[in-house]
Every structure is written in C-alpha cells, then in structure tokens.
Amino acid sequence: MTEKPNAAPCIRQLAASDAEAFRSLHLEALRTHPAAFAMSYEDECDLPLADYQSRLDHLIVFGGFVDGILAGIATLQKQPLRKRRHMAMVWGMYVKDAFRGSGLAAAIFEAVLARAELEVDQLELYVAVGNDRASRFYKHYGFERYGVMRRSLRVDGVDYDAEMMVKIFR
C-alpha cells in the first residue's frame, strides 16, 4: 500500500550533510534488491560515513524527500573522459517500497533528466532483464533499448542480464 505524503515531495541534489540519510537508503536498496544494483551491500555496509559524504561532494545525486524523510534517490554520473563527455549515466535509482506508485520516482527522474539535458547529449542506464516495471518506466521517458549485457551481475551464484537503454537529447 502506498503511503500518502502530507506534503508534495521535495526533490533536490543531495549535499554532504545528507550523507547519513543517503547511506541508509542506499544500503536499504542494496540489501532488499541485490540483483538490481552493481554495488553490493557487503562491500558498502562498512564504509565510513566520510566515504558517503565524499560521494555526495563529487557525484550528482538527487533525492526525493517526503515529509522530511529521504524516500528516493538517483545518481547522474557524467563521463570524465574527453571523448565521452557528451554522455552521462543514471544509476542507483531507488524508491522505498512504501512510496512506489506515488509519483516520487517520476519526480526524481524528471529532475535527473532536466539536469542531464542541460549538460550532455545522451543519457544511458542499465535495468535488470525481467524488471519490466522499471523498463516500462524508462521507456515512458523516451529511453530505447540498444542491447543486452549478458551476465552483467552475479549475485549468490546466479547470473543476471542487463538491458542497456539510452535517451538521445541532441
């Protein structure tokens, strides 16, 4: 059942001061949906808070706050190599189960898209093959599948393929 927020969600780029809430939500995502993320809970859970603060200083992470609580996140990572600076990647998109279907994911993702369109020519992402809800979500925003990365993740001895998707802005 989806919780009804008391106020409209607040979407903003996270700062180092949000590191504790970011760490908690990021770890929840990795723990509850291990096949959806390249990072593993086991590798991330013991990292000091300073590592999360550093990430927020160096990456573009959008957060969705509902009633003051961080309930969703998505990372926009621009490519650093000169020949790839026209591209960026979205990763780590996660919304707490209680807020799925509430419009929070759309609000966060629209903020990511708006920022990306200002700074790059194309945006890429991967979604686990079989995660049809996520795939439909991204297609709704104009993403197209351009391939499948076979065995992109191995979780507890099980291999998972990833659907590679792209949105070309210009």
- pLDDT, position 4: 54
Q: What are the tens digits of pLDDT across the range 18-52?
A: 999 999 999 999 999 999 999 999 999 999 999 99
Domain membership flag for residue 130: no
Domain membership flag for residue 94: yes
CB of 119 within 8 A of CB of 91?
A: no
CA distances from 34 to 26, 94, 132, 158, 169 (A): 11, 12, 16, 11, 31
Pairing of strands 87-95, 122-128: parallel
Domain membership flag for residue 134: no
- pLDDT, position 96: 97
CA distance 63 to 167: 21
Q: What are the tens digits of pLDDT across the range 53-90?
A: 999 999 999 999 999 999 999 999 999 999 999 999 99
- pLDDT, position 39: 96
- pLDDT, position 92: 97
Provide the domain limits for residue 55: 10-121
- Is pLDDT of 7 > 90? no
CA 120 to chain centre: 17
Q: What are the tens digits of pLDDT across the range 120-155?
A: 999 999 999 999 999 999 999 999 999 999 999 999
Domain membership flag for residue 156: no
Select the more confidently predicted residue: 3 or 12: 12
- pLDDT, position 35: 94
CA 25 to chain centre: 11
For the chain, the domain total comes to 1
Residue 8 pLDDT class (50, 70, 90 cuts): confident
Domain membership flag for residue 150: no
- pLDDT, position 1: 43
Would residue 145 be called left, alpha or beta, if left means φ above 0 and alpha means ψ between -120 and 50 degrees?
Answer: beta
CB of 151 within 8 A of CB of 159?
A: yes
The CATH number for 23's domain is 3.40.630.30
